[in-house]
Amino acid sequence: MDDQKREEFRKALREVKNLPTLPGIVIKLTQMAEDPDTSTEQMGRMISKDHILAVKLLKLVNSAFYGFPQRISSLNSAIILLGINVIKSLIISASIFEVMEDQDIELWEHSLGCAVVSSVLAKRLGMSEPEEVSTAGLIHDIGKVAIKMELPREYELITRLVHDKQISRIEAEREVLGLDHAEVGGWLAKSWNLPGKLIEPIACHHDPRLAKDEQLASAIVHFSNIIIRGMGYGHAGDIWVPALSSRAWRMLELTPTDLELVLAEVEEKLWEVKGFSLDIKANNEEAVPL
Ligand SMILES: [Fe+2]
Ligand SMILES: [Fe+2]
């Protein structure tokens, strides 16, 4: 592939015009969180101004991914219980996922599944904010959506190549574009100013050795992607289960018994999230308690 062509693709994907920009509310919340005088109520009020987003946020918080023992019925308690960083990443998920759900239902299912496995593993490994790892799992393949929306012709070509040559999607992407969806996802996450905790696991989910600061979270998302593909839940664009990085596997320190328990928990949770959607048309009129 010539360099000029690759540069063109790179530019189109870096300038993503068809994906939503990150809601301004995330930037405002970041500013508010930095100001010690801001109260939880003020933040709750800020979020509730966007009624649809607020309903989605509560729906996501109470979904089976996060598995909080009690129902969280107000924005204030969500902020107190989860912390502003988690709330921010949930807002990001809610905004991005609308597009993913509309674009590709099977990829959406694959991503939901990956989020579930990531959440189970992050909790088992005692990570301090497992919800963030789960969010990274939820949006790890966002680069695929960007390629589909920005370069539809090349996307078709990639799909054909996967089928004709029987190669993985990531190999086909590299062949057609000279880059892959993990790299694209990393740029996107960076351009949306997402926290580093989300950027690295997205950018490194096919090669967790590349991670510097978020090695464990990257290993979790890497492994979750493999597990969920192995379980055949959703569809990620090809039929191949990616190779497991031995380093990531060592980092997770899972015994065969641990793995069995993880799989059992994942299966139960997958059942609970089946058909989960952030679509709120049905309860659009619902009031959002602060
Ligand atoms: Fe991927
Ligand atoms: Fe994936």
Q: How far, in Å, from the CA of 250 to the mean position of ligand 2?
A: 21
- Listed range (60-69, 144-153, 205-214) with the worst mean pLDDT: 60-69
Contact 75, 57 (CB under 8 A): yes
First to last CA, the chain: 54
Cα of 206 from ligand 1 centre, angstroms: 6
Q: Which domains does the chain have, with CATH numbers?
A: 22-283 (1.10.3210.10)
For the chain, how long is the longest CA-to-CA vector?
60
Ligand number, closest to the Cα atom of 169: 1
Rounded CA gap, 115 and 119, in Å? 6
pLDDT-derived band of residue 124, with 50, 70 and 90 as boundaries? very high
- Let me know if 71 is exposed, middle or buried by CB neighbors in 10 A (0-12, 13-18, 19+): exposed
Q: Percent helix, strand, coil in the chain (nearest 5)?
A: 70, 0, 30
Q: Which of 20, 65, 58, 51 is nearest to 276 (CA)?
A: 65
CA 39 / ligand 1 centre spacing (Å):
39
pLDDT recorded at residue 282: 45
State which amino acid sits at residue 73. Answer: S
Alpha carbon of 66 to ligand 1 centroid (Å): 22
Does the structure show a pLDDT above 60 at 10? yes
pLDDT tens readout for residues 157-195: 999 999 999 999 999 999 999 999 999 999 988 887 778
Ligand 2 midpoint to CA 270 (Å): 16
pLDDT (tens digit per residue) in 275-290: 777 765 544 445 566 6
How many whole angstroms from 113 Cα to the centroid of ligand 2? 9
Compute CA distances 281 → 72, 73, 149, 230, 285, whole Å: 21, 19, 24, 33, 9
